[in-house]
Amino acid sequence: MTSSSNVASRTGLAAITNGHGGFVLDFIKIRAPIGDEVRVALGASGICHTDYASLSWDGPLVVGHEGAGWVEAIGPDVHDLKIGDPVLLNWAIPCGHCKRCDTGHANICERSHGIDPETLGTSRAGHDHTIWNGSAIQRSFNLGTFSEFTLVRRSALTPILSGIPVEQACILGCGVMTGVGSVLNIAQPSPGDIVAIVGCGGVGLSVVQGARLAGASRIIAIDVRQDSLDRAKVMGATDLLLADASDTNHDQLSSQIKSMTNGRGVDFAFEATGVAALAFLPLRLVRNGGMAVQVSGAQGAVEVPMPLFWWDKRYVTPLYGGCNPERDFPRLMRWAVEGALDLSSMISKTYHLENLAMAIDDMLAGRTAKGVVIFENGRAHV
């Protein structure tokens, strides 16, 4: 076993982007943890559309933000974890003390988002934690999970319940939390409500599962790919709509939804495509007084006719499914262990880090719902 007292640093392979859309695999050095920091040996990292977007963020940057692994070293102020514990990483790291955290909105913690200048940066590991080519390098969402090791604050970690493999647990860290949380924490449908989901990738499938957990009477899955709809059926969708890509103004889709709901529209509609042009589509699908939820984080300029908001409709763009780590990750894990939340069926394929480019291509082409990078030697490092 390894402890922070006898290992000054660790060297591991990582995916690093220069910010121009590509990446290289190279070795980085991660120092020993201090204070309340924990060094984690990664076992698995989910692949998300945000990871593809991060290849064009300011570089150099260690990519990846959806990971799980084992505690490999701990700082002297960490007393509730031990070497070898399996842990899930959380990218929206709450401080637990700001106004947002105090009011139950840990996902938009003012410390994590740098709103409070007195605590700016204190949710992340200290300076010069990760070195590449002799210089400090940042990590995506202060995690950088496409790496054999990472160093984080204790508040970024949740112990993984026994019975959940790390390759399944890792997808809880973003896609599942975003989708399920957007249903249960934000929309909060009542049993018997009708829910529609536009886009059945990893997040969309998690919305389907959230709607099933909420007791929705009908769960209408919408996608342009039949194989994506087939996956949604496995997750609990009751109705499948194969969208026509030529229906660019969505009149046909809107009419289909109206005919399925006695002219009313659905109670809740979620957009999970990541396509900016579809960001306001849920407004066309919900009834008067219904809620449209944009969960994909789509970016770009979009025009929307104001009458789409008529009447009494609500439009929400939640971050991270309203995640409160202390509340949400334990219950997601409990549901997974009990079989109420299906993680294994969401994972279409696993990859080695050397095949990350292939994994990203598969995701963009819609060949996978969730791909997962496996670090086969992760457990051996602790």
Exposure of 314 in the CB half-sphere (CA atoms within 13 A): 12
Q: How many residues does the chain have?
A: 382
Check: CB of residue 27 under 8 Å from CB of residue 352: no
**Spatial CB neighbours of 191, under 8 Å, sequence gap ≥ 6:** 214, 215, 216, 217
| Residue position matching structure tokens 């990846």 | 64
Reduced to 3 states (helix: H, G, I; strand: E, B; else coil), residue 93 is: coil
pLDDT in the model for residue 5: 41
Segments making up each domain of the chain, as ranges:
9-164+343-381, 176-319
Give a three-class secondary structure readout of 296-347.
Answer: CCCCCCCCCCHHHHCCCCEEECCCHHHCCHHHHHHHHHHHHHHCCCCCHHHE
Going residue by residue through the chain, which has 382 residues, state the pLDDT in tens, using 9 for 90 and above: 444 444 689 999 999 999 999 999 999 999 999 999 999 999 999 999 999 999 999 989 999 999 999 999 999 999 999 999 999 999 988 888 888 888 888 888 887 765 555 554 455 676 689 999 999 999 999 999 999 999 999 999 999 999 999 999 999 999 999 999 999 999 999 999 999 999 999 999 999 999 999 999 999 999 999 999 999 999 999 999 999 999 999 999 999 999 999 999 999 999 999 999 999 999 999 999 999 999 988 888 888 999 999 999 999 999 999 999 999 999 999 999 999 999 999 999 999 999 999 999 999 999 999 999 999 888 888 8
One CATH from 3.40.50.720, 3.20.19.10, 3.40.1190.20, 2.120.10.30 for 176-319: 3.40.50.720
CATH class of the domain comprising 9-164+343-381: alpha beta
pLDDT, position 110: 82
> What's the pLDDT score for residue 1?
41
**Which tokens belong to 283?**
């407004």
pTM of the model: 0.93
- Give the H or E element holding residue 207: helix 202-214
